[in-house]
Chain A
Amino acid sequence: SAVISQKPSRDICQRGTSLTIQCQVDSQVTMMFWYRQQPGQSLTLIATANQGSEATYESGFVIDKFPISRPNLTFSTLTVSNMSPEDSSIYLCSVAPTGVGGYTFGSGTRLTVV
């Protein structure tokens, strides 16, 4: 299965600022996904990052707040813009398997907005 390097692993940010999270995959993958996990909750899909086209966002998430880049088949970034304390969460990227099997996750970015 693919190996994902996600960074930063954690950050504490001031409200109103932006943070960009990066995920690097050790192999080419067609689909990458970005999830949010709020404290005590399960994972919620933010968007699907498509190489060569705009990301597809889930209901409740918009591009202006969570812009995504996918410049090639091994890399993606998620930016959390104009942050507020409500954005304090763990953000995870994920890739689909090339064949059958489960999806792989990055180690997550623990974001605290103060």
Chain B
Amino acid sequence: RKEVEQDPGPFNVPEGATVAFNCTYSNSASQSFFWYRQDCRKEPKLLMSVYSSGNEDGRFTAQLNRASQYISLLIRDSKLSDSATYLCVVNRNYGGSQGNLIFGKGTKLSVKP
């Protein structure tokens, strides 16, 4: 089983739609989780960290289910500018200190007018 798995998509949605991405990770001892966004030919940029209690930032909501080792990202009221690849990322260092990141293959989102 891969360390981080996510549906590659593509997800093609109209403007204003709500879209959800899912991700699973293999190691139950993982401590930190993130969603990154990567635009074509650009470096990944942090979209949001994912906390056990769930967190929301505007139109974006992230959830973590440790029991199921599952992470989700919900985007409401999609905008054209949301078109990008969304990367599910897990911090491999399980001791709590900073370690390296393991990336999923990414889910491609295309928002159409």
- Where the two chains meet, the residues of A that have a C-beta atom closer than 8 Å to any C-beta of B are 30-31, 33, 41-45, 48, 92, 94, 96-97, 100-108, 110
Q: Contact: B44 with A105, CB < 8 Å? A: yes
Indicate which residue in A42, A100, A105 contacts B43 across the interface (CB closer than 8 Å). A105
The CA of A100 and the CA of B101, in the complex, are separated in Å by: 14
Alpha-carbon separation in the docked complex, A42 to B105 (Å): 5
Q: Are A45 and B102 in contact (CB under 8 A)?
A: yes
Are the C-beta atoms of A101 and B46 separated by less than 8 Å? yes
CB pair A102 B98 closer than 8 Å: no
Q: Which B residues form the contact surface with A (CB < 8 A)? A: 34, 36, 41-46, 49, 87, 89, 98-106
Asked if B100 and A101 sit within 8 Å, CB to CB, the answer is: no
Complex-state Cα separation, A45 to B89, whole angstroms:
12
A100 to B32, CA, bound (A): 9
B103 to chain A, nearest CB (A): 4
From B41, B46, B98, B103, contact of A42 by CB (8 A) = B103
Give the residue of A30, A97, A105 whose beta carbon is less than 8 angstroms from that of B45: A105
Please give 12 more A-B residue pairs, beta carbons under 8 A apart, in addition to A31-B100, A41-B105, A92-B43.
A42-B103, A43-B101, A44-B103, A45-B100, A96-B99, A100-B49, A101-B46, A101-B49, A102-B89, A105-B43, A105-B45, A110-B41
Chain B residues, Cβ within 8 Å of A96:
98-99
Given contacts A41-B105, A42-B87, A102-B34, whether A107 and B100 have CB atoms under 8 Å apart is no
Q: Indicate if the CB atoms of A30 and B103 lie closer than 8 Å.
A: no
CB < 8 Å neighbour of A94 from B41, B42, B101:
B101
